Amino acid sequence: MNRLLRLLGSMPFAVAVLAVVAVAASIGSLVEQNQPFALDVGRYGLIWASSYRLIGLHDIYHAPWFLALLGFLTVSTGLCVWRHTPGMWRESRGFKHHLNADQLARLPVRAQLNIHADLQAQVLVALRAGGWRWRGEGLTISAKKGQVRRLGYIATHLAIVVISVGGLVDANLGLQVKLASGRADPAPMGRPPAELSASSRLRPDAGAFRGAMRLVEGQADQWVSLNLSDGYLLRQLPVTVRLVGFRIETHPGGQPRDFVSDIEINDPAVRSGPVPLRVSMNAPAHHGRLRFYQSGFDDGGSVLRGTWLLRGGVDSRKMQAQVGQPQSILVDGQPQTAEFTGYKPRNLVSPEASASRSWRETFLSGSQAAKRVDLGPSVELRLRDSSGQIQTETVFLRPLTFDGRQYSVFGVMDGQSEQRYLRIPVGSDGTLHDYRQLLGALQDPATTSQLTADAPKVVAQALPLALQQFLNGGFARVGDANTQRVLVELLSRYAMQTWIAQHPEQTPADALTFVSDALLAYSHWAEAGKPPLVQVDEVRPVAASVLQVSEAPGEIIVYAGMALLALGVTLMVLCPERRLWVREVPGGVMFALAAHRPLDGLNEELLAFLDPMRKESV
């Protein structure tokens, strides 16, 4: 036991533990913590992800070995302070007046002066002016100053103990014991909060925590979610939090400047009524021991109304949906599930990107320059077919302008391809009515028969086949490479005749532009897998705020430790320790100066002290 106490109380052991803790904390800053195992496997591979999980790198600040190291650091540094403080205090109080001239002659920094009548008085004056404390009389004096540096040394080491204790308090050792023993059972991420059992819920007095709370405007709640790698726990708050409103503050150029949540705290201990708080990205709020941080925002269930466009837009069906609520839809007789995942009020891109002819560049975020162009609101949805394949779709609610012409834009992406953008030309009335009318005419057999009645026989035979192939798969399905150009031109002429027959008031140039864009849009839609498109006409936005809520009882302890550390370092740097001895020796008086450690300039410091009393030095 004595050997163990000596090991724990030794300075090398404490320094070694401190180094390991510092390295582990650095790893925790580099490796993203509390991520699902499947995500870690995707990033690092199965072997490395399993190894990280085995040694606790996925949640390093709550790993048993890290908490044990923190405990060893607390005990070791505390024993160091306990062992060395009494001796250090006794040494700092003494003047070492027992040292004689022969012993002091071994010190490297010393000087000797001749004795003269005013020397004793000048020594006392210099000691007072330099802030020295001394003992002795005549020319046999032992002086010291800067002993407060020893307090800085003690405060610095004690600060490590205090900070480690605060870290252990905020690590919530009680919860870690419950998790290890199975008394707290994290629920799977996909399980709704209402289905969680008592073992997945924590009381308001369960210690330190940091969790997330998602609130819709007008909603009140008193539960926060604590993410624990592949599961989560619900922690009850001692208060109820209600979201009054959420807003996004922007710069003049349109970029978001701040996200602000106005909340009300209903605390049973406050009898004067709800406590209003304002939480933003730049200004957290606190109530009692609870702190609130603006973590993000989400769609709280915006209500959407519009039209489903099926078969590329030929068929239509009224649509009413709510973000987050899935609904069923029949596509070519096959059931699919559609879920609107979010409403985005702004889509900011750089002016260069918005003017680019490249669809890909147009919808990338572009540079972060101050000037931005707002492409308007958009809606995102996911489409899942009966086999489980998912296709995502982004719908821009207002027409976008390219080369002076307006288009409705749809971003479509499945799991195996990159996102592609469909541009469907908008008619003179600002809707897709003309586009849908042209597609309807192309799919009408009566129109085909009418336009091919006077055509050559080869055209009358080839056109219906080419048209059917085009409607099934776009331009890529129209014949082989040798005949594709001829058939595409034939289709374009046929579509042009169909459109002019329906809109004789349009000029040939305008009609050609519209028909070309419409055929290209349909071809891209067919190549994208013929997804159902949605035209959103009305949106009632509902905002949701994501707050981070924390309670850190060890925070004040850590702050106290940091203040103690700053005080200790300040005392050690600004209060250097010095000892000075004055002894009579044959032929004069010897002055010896020593510091707590060898320092450059110590000899010059002694000469400066002696300069006012020097008449003839030896």
Three-state SS sequence of 84-149: HHHHHHHHHHCCCCCCCHHHHCCCCCEEEECCCCCHHHHHHHHHHHCCCEEEEECCEEEEEECCHH
Q: What is the pLDDT of residue 368?
A: 43
By the 8 A CB rule, do 193 and 236 touch?
no
3-state helix, strand, coil in the chain (%, to 5): 40, 30, 30
pLDDT at 241 over 90: yes
Asked if residue 165 belongs to a domain, the reply is: no
Q: In which band, very low, low, confident or very high, does the pLDDT at 507 lie, cut at 50, 70 and 90?
A: confident
Q: What is the pLDDT of residue 367?
A: 41
Q: In which band, very low, low, confident or very high, does the pLDDT at 504 lie, cut at 50, 70 and 90?
A: confident
Shared-domain flag, residues 408 and 309: yes
Which two tokens mark 2?
A: 């004595």
- 106: how many CB neighbours lie within 10 A of its CB? 9
Shared-domain flag, residues 477 and 374: yes
Q: What is the pLDDT of residue 364?
A: 44
Domain limits for position 77: 1-93
Dihedral sign of CA atoms 47, 53, 54, 55 in order? positive
By the 8 A CB rule, do 424 and 521 touch?
yes
By the 8 A CB rule, do 435 and 443 touch?
no
Dihedral sign of CA atoms 451, 457, 463, 464 in order? positive
Q: What is the pLDDT of residue 365?
A: 43
Each residue's pLDDT tens digit, 351-408: 655 554 444 444 444 444 446 677 889 999 998 888 888 889 999 998 988 888 889 9
pLDDT at 320 over 80: yes
Q: CA 559, 564, 565, 568: dihedral to nearest 10 degrees? A: 170
Q: What is the pLDDT of residue 201?
A: 92
Which two tokens mark 33?
A: 């913590």
- Strand ordering across the sheet containing 303-310: 315-322, 303-310, 533-540
Shared-domain flag, residues 22 and 46: yes
Q: In which band, very low, low, confident or very high, does the pLDDT at 242 lie, cut at 50, 70 and 90?
A: very high
Q: In which band, very low, low, confident or very high, does the pLDDT at 193 lie, cut at 50, 70 and 90?
A: confident
Shared-domain flag, residues 355 and 414: yes
Each residue's pLDDT tens digit, 421-473: 889 999 878 888 888 888 888 777 776 666 565 556 666 666 677 777 777 87
The closest of 342, 254, 327, 261 to 296, measured between CA atoms, is: 261
Average pLDDT over residues 202-223: 91
Parallel, antiparallel or unpaired: strands 290-299 and 201-202: unpaired
Shared-domain flag, residues 102 and 56: no
Each residue's pLDDT tens digit, 107-166: 999 999 888 888 889 999 999 999 999 999 888 999 999 888 889 989 999 999 999 999
Shared-domain flag, residues 369 and 485: yes
The closest of 541, 537, 536 to 297, measured between CA atoms, is: 541
By the 8 A CB rule, do 104 and 110 touch?
yes
Which two tokens mark 31?
A: 């490796």
Average pLDDT over residues 205-233: 89
Asked if residue 135 belongs to a domain, the reply is: yes
Rounded CA-CA distance 604/436 in Å is 95
Asked if residue 569 belongs to a domain, the reply is: no
The residue out of 551, 586, 605 marking a domain boundary is: 551
Rounded CA-CA distance 194/186 in Å is 14
Asked if residue 282 belongs to a domain, the reply is: yes
Shared-domain flag, residues 268 and 308: no
The residue out of 48, 77, 93 marking a domain boundary is: 93
Shared-domain flag, residues 365 and 449: yes
Asked if residue 533 belongs to a domain, the reply is: yes
DSSP category for residue 357: S
DSSP category for residue 597: S
Asked if residue 158 belongs to a domain, the reply is: no
Rounded CA-CA distance 335/341 in Å is 19
The closest of 426, 439, 411, 407 to 311, measured between CA atoms, is: 439
Top pLDDT among 254 and 67 is at 67
Rounded CA-CA distance 162/168 in Å is 10
- 286: how many CB neighbours lie within 10 A of its CB? 12
The residue out of 64, 93, 122 marking a domain boundary is: 93
Shared-domain flag, residues 419 and 291: no
The closest of 286, 287, 318 to 304, measured between CA atoms, is: 318
Shared-domain flag, residues 319 and 462: yes
Rounded CA-CA distance 389/73 in Å is 53
Top pLDDT among 32 and 172 is at 172
Rounded CA-CA distance 358/368 in Å is 19
Distances (CA, A) of 527 to 336, 406, 439: 19, 22, 16
| Degrees, nearest 5: CA angle 252-257-261 | 125
Contacts of 512 (CB under 8 A, 6+ apart): 496
Domains held by the chain: number: 4
By the 8 A CB rule, do 320 and 368 touch?
no
Asked if residue 247 belongs to a domain, the reply is: yes
By the 8 A CB rule, do 606 and 109 touch?
yes
Each residue's pLDDT tens digit, 10-27: 788 888 888 988 888 888
Share of the chain above pLDDT 90, in %: 27
Shared-domain flag, residues 129 and 104: yes
Collapsing DSSP to helix, strand or coil, 567 comes out as helix
Number of residues that make up the chain: 618
Q: What is the pLDDT of residue 371?
A: 61
H helix intervals, 433-580: 433-442, 445-451, 457-473, 481-502, 508-527, 555-574
pLDDT at 307 over 80: yes
pLDDT at 82 over 90: no
Q: What is the average pLDDT value for the chain, to the nearest integer? A: 84
CATH assignment at residue 580: 3.30.310
Rounded CA-CA distance 603/618 in Å is 16
DSSP category for residue 554: T
Shared-domain flag, residues 197 and 237: yes
Rounded CA-CA distance 193/234 in Å is 8
Asked if residue 153 belongs to a domain, the reply is: no
Rounded CA-CA distance 91/87 in Å is 6
| Amino acid symbol at 151 | L
Q: In which band, very low, low, confident or very high, does the pLDDT at 296 lie, cut at 50, 70 and 90?
A: confident
Q: What is the pLDDT of residue 303?
A: 92
Parallel, antiparallel or unpaired: strands 231-250 and 201-202: parallel
Which two tokens mark 218?
A: 């007008």
**Which pTM value belongs to this model?**
0.69
